[in-house]
Structure 1
Amino acid sequence: MSGFTQRVEDALADPVLKIAVERTAGTAEAKRAAAVGAFPDFEAARTRAAVIKDHVVANLGHYLQQFEANAQAAGATVHWARTADEACGIVIGICKRADARSVARSKSMLGEEIGLPHALAEAGIERIETDLAEHIIQLAGERPSHIVWPAMHKTREQVSALFRARHREPHLEETIAAMAESARRHLRSAMLDADVGISGANFLIADTGSVCTVTNEGNAELSIMPPRVHIVTAGIEKVVPSLPHAIHMLRMLARSATGAALTQYTTFYTGPKRAGDRDGPEEMHIVLVDNGRTQMREEGLAEMLRCIRCGACMNHCVVFRQIGGHAYGSTYPGPMGAVLTPALDGLSANRDLVHACTMNGKCQEVCPVKIPLPTLLRGWREKSWREGLEPQTVRRALGLWAWGVRHPRLYRLGSALAVRVMRQRARAGWISRLPLAGAWTRHRDLPAPEGKTFLEQYAQGRRR
């Protein structure tokens, strides 16, 4: 089996994983629905958000230059990185010049994308993950499984056991509040003693040179304000023209990600500490990372650069909710990851991801910036076919199917026979074993057909 196939097999066989994923994704789906229902003209807001992002992507050079000029005028130093390695090299260089022994890091998927945690480890610099979920997976030695809830694959029972084993002063009560307090005791001193604070950026404001971060725990502020140096790593697509544009995007982000009207901590940073300021970093460095984004814009994937990393597509994806995030084997899981990963790491090594989709369109339906994810995935599938990346077994099977549909009578006969065989094998509306469907029925039952084939029902309808 391929790496992806084996990871999927392992995920489907893990009953605890299904419980953990469904707990979080199900809650997120319900909360988003309530938030959107209370948002007047949400569809119009989605359209405006998409227009804002498309305008920025079409004029990316202009807004990046404007952001750089204003950020530098505010006292920040702006660095440009074409690749992941260049970005990591810049960050490590800044840390070494600051004689940093430890860094406090606020959650950043861009940091995961460029491999920053590994680069810090190789440089001998201690990394403290300050986001609660990132702290959990750091203790467990694992990768994030979701871009908003990195530890969604963990149950609270697993987290409790992990904290008891790794925290200096573990919780005494089996409550979420007690576990959060245990993490606070463990992290607070390390955050305050860090030499460098590293954050991502939810948005970069072009006309002020400001960086915006959003968290629900206040960990970004504690990671950034006490250390001497603040380093921001951000993808170049994060820029927006002005503060009003950023506010609109924040309204879309919070509702789509957590179902809240506004994230609890929304902070704008404009340069380092000024004369007379009581606190704040003495230096602020902003590393703007391309890492394939310019190429995406030029090769027909510009719509993917709208993404604001809310995770709604994952929470509503029937595939993601069965296998979780780690099965995707990449930084970005779910529908958005299935589009992004081939662009970042190559299609030949990730062709399986573009097929991990039922094309039901739910991801596009809930995306706050209207990214046509199914269309983009179909584009990857077509490219995989054109470039001969699909296995011969797949090509032969599709060739056989194509031959069948060119012979309508034979096709209808085969479909009718298949439906009847499936109904005969069903028990209470479900099929537990079925030839040629072992990969499905090994871990879950297959719904039985409700009645006749589509063509039979269609013909019957026309006769009425």
Structure 2
Amino acid sequence: MTAHSSVRHRAKVALRDDFLRGAVHFTTDRLRNRKQAVTEDFGHWETWRDRGEAIRRHTIENLDHYLAQFADNLERLGAHVHFCADAREALDAVAQIVRAKAARRVVKSKSMVTEEVHLNHHLEQLGVEVIETDLGEYIVQLARETPSHIIIPAIHKTREQIKALFEADGGENLTTETRDLVAFARRRLREMYLTADIGITGCNFGIAETGSIALFTNEGNADLVANLPKTHIVFMGMERILPTLDDLEVFAHLLPKSATGQNTITYLSLITGPRRAGDGDGPEEMHVVILDNGRSRQLGDPDFQAVLHCIRCGACLNVCPVYRQIGGHAYGSVYPGPIGAVLSPLLEGGEAYQDLPYASSLCGACYEACPVKIPLHDMLVKERQRFVAKTGGKTGEKAAFAAYRVTFADHRRYLGAIRLARRLQGGFAKGGVIRAKIGPLAGWTDRRDFPALGSQTFREWWMARKRGTRRG
């Protein structure tokens, strides 16, 4: 499945994959239930959401100030800062570092931004071996696939598939037991850390007041990636800034609880510049690549600026009825789920992801789950409006809504249409429902029953009741 096919086509493919749907249901149910339990126990969750939203709103409204402060502090610490307008500039910046270091092997920890710019493919074209060290990312890399969930990249893989991938990579005979698969990955990756020329990490948050990089992980791999190679490269979206360390304390609660239902993250690492004299470990050289790639277009836009508040927790995916049915790859984007349906068209532009805003029921569950209260359901509607304003909409939809407007503008036309529809449904309605696949209704009746019109509308029932009352 590619981004160039339609989301409708990709969704149909996903719906035929029973294992995928079962795995997505199982995992998202578990994450959602764990989040509910831990936030109820924590208490005052809505107050924490309000604090998180206020911090993110203030930061994005003053992003230029905090980015400048962050960059100044990084450079004072001895790090090199690369502001990159787009993916090409970011890839060129990394290529220059790779060439300067004559690097042949790179280890990476989880980073959605590097997925966004297709960094692995670019490095491989330069002859560099790239190894993902997050277990889920390692699995999908071996499968030559992209992550299907922001937090759990290999949610769609069976144990048997993982076993086959590991055996092909390492030439060992393995079982499907979790401890054996994890032990293999640990053995395989340990040698990579020790022999890598460059380590590349993402960045959960950059702290403006200190120039620190905050990394949230559960496996500890990011610490090894950042500290063992001589050169450390950090990739971060320009919006991933917090003003102070006090603000980080808020997100040290919001992020793990929303993402995985953990009370606290296993590893919260703060990296403040490269190795200094007297330090026992750390890279000799540190580079921070700060990527725009369409983000700045949302600044000042009252409809979409709040999308930059996102902290990439994935909570919106776990409650989305569409994602839970079709998984992440059906979105055809690095960013799946409701956040991807909003973000991908904004960052990408053009026609590639213009149908993603329609992959939503607009139920609003994503807003209720979001720890920083991003109104994704409202944004999806606005993206649909912009798409229709730009393209004029589909001919069939325009005709249908024109007929709807004419019919519902006059109660007599409405009642006439109801009587006509009631007669026409006679050959299709059985037991109060329509199961036949009829024209544009086929997309509904293919998966569920369509309620048949009743013998009376409420208006007809009410008028009959009034007449009966008068006679009485």
CA distance in 2, matches of 1:354, 1:250: 31
CA distance in 1, matches of 2:193, 2:251: 29
* Counterpart amino acid of residue 183 in structure 2: E
The residue number in structure 2 matching 1:117 is 120
The residue number in structure 2 matching 1:354 is 357
Instruction: Tell me how far 1:170 sits from its aligned partner.
Output: 4.3
The residue number in structure 1 matching 2:239 is 237
CA distance in 2, matches of 1:423, 1:205: 66
Match of 1:223 among 204, 222, 225: 225
The residue number in structure 2 matching 1:342 is 345
Contact (CA 8 Å) 2:107, 2:130: kept in 1 or not?
yes
Contact (CA 8 Å) 1:307, 1:371: kept in 2 or not?
yes
Q: 1:118-177: per-residue Cα shift (whole Å, max 9, x none)?
A: 2112211110000101111111111111111111122333223322333333423x3212
Contact (CA 8 Å) 1:120, 1:126: kept in 2 or not?
yes
Match of 1:40 among 38, 43, 58: 43
CA distance in 1, matches of 2:360, 2:457: 25
The structure-2 alpha-carbon separation of the partners of 1:360 and 1:347, relative to structure 1 and needing over 3 Å to count, comes to farther
The residue number in structure 2 matching 1:384 is 387
Match of 1:209 among 208, 211, 222: 211
CA distance in 1, matches of 2:362, 2:102: 51
The structure-2 alpha-carbon separation of the partners of 1:455 and 1:430, relative to structure 1 and needing over 3 Å to count, comes to closer
Instruction: Tell me how far 1:89 sits from its aligned partner.
Output: 0.9
The structure-2 alpha-carbon separation of the partners of 1:415 and 1:280, relative to structure 1 and needing over 3 Å to count, comes to farther
* Counterpart amino acid of residue 116 in structure 1: L
The structure-2 alpha-carbon separation of the partners of 1:66 and 1:447, relative to structure 1 and needing over 3 Å to count, comes to same
User: Where do residues 5-16 of structure 1 align in structure 2 (5 Å cutoff)?
Assistant: 5-16=8-19
User: Where do residues 313-328 of structure 1 align in structure 2 (5 Å cutoff)?
Assistant: 313-328=316-331
* Counterpart amino acid of residue 310 in structure 1: C
Instruction: Tell me how far 1:265 sits from its aligned partner.
Output: 1.0
* Counterpart amino acid of residue 113 in structure 1: E
Q: 1:324-355: per-residue Cα shift (whole Å, max 9, x none)?
A: 11111111111111111111111533221111
Q: Report the number of matched residues.
A: 460
User: Where do residues 32-181 of structure 1 align in structure 2 (5 Å cutoff)?
Assistant: 32-172=35-175, 174-181=176-183
What residue ranges of structure 2 are gaps of 5+ in the alignment?
Answer: none
Contact (CA 8 Å) 2:81, 2:289: kept in 1 or not?
yes
CA distance in 2, matches of 1:258, 1:58: 29
CA distance in 1, matches of 2:170, 2:422: 57
The structure-2 alpha-carbon separation of the partners of 1:268 and 1:126, relative to structure 1 and needing over 3 Å to count, comes to same
The residue number in structure 2 matching 1:366 is 369
Q: 1:246-265: per-residue Cα shift (whole Å, max 9, x none)?
A: 12012101010000011111
Instruction: Tell me how far 1:82 sits from its aligned partner.
Output: 0.8
* Counterpart amino acid of residue 323 in structure 1: I
The structure-2 alpha-carbon separation of the partners of 1:395 and 1:205, relative to structure 1 and needing over 3 Å to count, comes to same
* Counterpart amino acid of residue 394 in structure 1: E
CA distance in 2, matches of 1:30, 1:39: 14
Q: What secondary structure does 1:259 align onto? A: coil
Contact (CA 8 Å) 1:25, 1:321: kept in 2 or not?
yes
Contact (CA 8 Å) 1:106, 1:198: kept in 2 or not?
yes
* Counterpart amino acid of residue 214 in structure 2: C
Instruction: Tell me how far 1:400 sits from its aligned partner.
Output: 2.4
* Counterpart amino acid of residue 251 in structure 2: M
Structure 1 or 2, whichever has the larger Rg, is 2
Amino-acid identity (%): 41
Instruction: Tell me how far 1:450 sits from its aligned partner.
Output: 9.6
Contact (CA 8 Å) 2:434, 2:452: kept in 1 or not?
no
Match of 1:439 among 421, 440, 443: 443
* Counterpart amino acid of residue 289 in structure 1: L
Question: Which of 416-425 and 395-404 deviates more?
Answer: 416-425
Q: What secondary structure does 1:185 align onto? A: helix
The residue number in structure 2 matching 1:261 is 263
Instruction: Tell me how far 1:21 sits from its aligned partner.
Output: 1.2
The residue number in structure 2 matching 1:276 is 278
Contact (CA 8 Å) 1:422, 1:448: kept in 2 or not?
no
CA distance in 1, matches of 2:290, 2:184: 35
Instruction: Tell me how far 1:283 sits from its aligned partner.
Output: 0.5
What residue ranges of structure 1 are gaps of 5+ in the alignment?
Answer: none
Contact (CA 8 Å) 1:384, 1:390: kept in 2 or not?
yes
Contact (CA 8 Å) 2:425, 2:452: kept in 1 or not?
no
CA distance in 2, matches of 1:432, 1:339: 33
* Counterpart amino acid of residue 129 in structure 2: E
Q: What secondary structure does 2:287 align onto? A: strand
CA distance in 1, matches of 2:422, 2:234: 57
* Counterpart amino acid of residue 359 in structure 1: L
